[in-house]
């Protein structure tokens, strides 16, 4: 399961200035040892994703995927953090 849908991915494609940040954040959130499990995908644990989506959108009616605007905003925020997502 991935919280990034097609609209969010399309929004990220239009922002090449955020690609490196997105890669760094994605690898930082990936499960430890993700390369040892088949298929090797650097995705966070599903439970962690549920928790993050609930804390972002609330417990009732949480969307299944993040919107493009939310993803871009999150990545911009990560990029502004000193040394955290770099």
Q: In 3-state terms, what secondary structure has residue 66?
A: strand
Tokens for 10?
A: 């399309």
Note the pLDDT tens digit of each residue in 23-82: 999 888 888 898 998 888 888 888 888 888 888 877 765 566 778 898 899 999 999 987
User: pTM of this prediction?
Assistant: 0.76
What ranges make up the beta strands (E) of the chain?
Answer: none
The strand pairing partners of 66, in sequence order, are: 4
């Amino acid at each position: 399961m991935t919280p990034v849908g097609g609209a969010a991915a399309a929004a990220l494609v239009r922002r090449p200035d955020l690609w490196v940040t997105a890669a760094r954040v994605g690898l930082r959130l990936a499960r430890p040892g993700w390369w040892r499990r088949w298929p090797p995908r650097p995705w966070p644990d599903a439970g962690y994703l549920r928790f993050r989506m609930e804390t972002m959108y609330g417990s009732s009616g949480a969307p299944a995927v993040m919107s493009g605007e939310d993803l871009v905003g999150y990545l911009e925020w990560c990029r502004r953090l000193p040394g955290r997502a770099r």
